[in-house]
Amino acid sequence: MEIKLPAYFKYTVILLGFALLIYTLQAFKAILMPLAFGLLFALLLLPLTRDLEKKLRFPRPLAILASITLVIVILGLVVWLLSMQLVSLASELETIGKNMQKLITRMQEFMLSNFGIAPPNKSELFQNAIGGLQEFTTTFLGSTISITTGAITVLTLVPIFVFLLLYYRDHLEQFLFKFVTKDRRGGVIKTITDIQHVVQSYISGLMIVIVVVALLNTAGLLILGVKYAIFFGVFASILTIIPYIGILIGASLPALFTLATTGNLLDAVLVVIVFMFVQFLEGNFITPFVVGSKVSLNPFAAILALLIGGEVWGAAGMILSIPMIAMMKVIFDVYEPLQPIGFLMADMDELKPKRKGRVRNWFDEIVNGILRGKKNPNE
Q: What pLDDT, on a 0 to 100 scale, did the predictor assign at position 121?
A: 55
- Provide the number of structural domains found in the chain: 3
Quick check: helix, strand or coil at residue 136?
helix
Shared domain for 336 and 274, answered yes or no, is no
Q: How many CB atoms are located within 10 Å of the residue 175 CB?
A: 10
Shared domain for 270 and 303, answered yes or no, is no
Rounded mean pLDDT, 169-195: 85
How would residue 341 be classed by pLDDT, with cut points 50, 70 and 90?
A: confident
Shared domain for 73 and 174, answered yes or no, is yes
Examine the fold and report which residue of 244, 273, 294 is the final residue of a domain before the chain moves on: 294
Shared domain for 286 and 316, answered yes or no, is no
Q: Tens of pLDDT along 213-245?
A: 999 999 999 998 888 888 888 888 888 777 667
Range of the domain at 174: 22-117+142-178
Per-residue pLDDT at 293 exceeds 80 = no
Please report, for residues 44, 129, 261, 317, 337, the alpha-carbon distance to residue 89 in angstroms, rounded to integers and kept in the order given. Answer: 34, 24, 11, 29, 54
Q: What pLDDT, on a 0 to 100 scale, did the predictor assign at position 161?
A: 93
Q: What pLDDT, on a 0 to 100 scale, did the predictor assign at position 69?
A: 94
- Taking each helix axis from N to C end, the angle separating 185-224 and 265-281, rounded to the nearest 10 degrees, works out to 150
Shared domain for 359 and 264, answered yes or no, is no
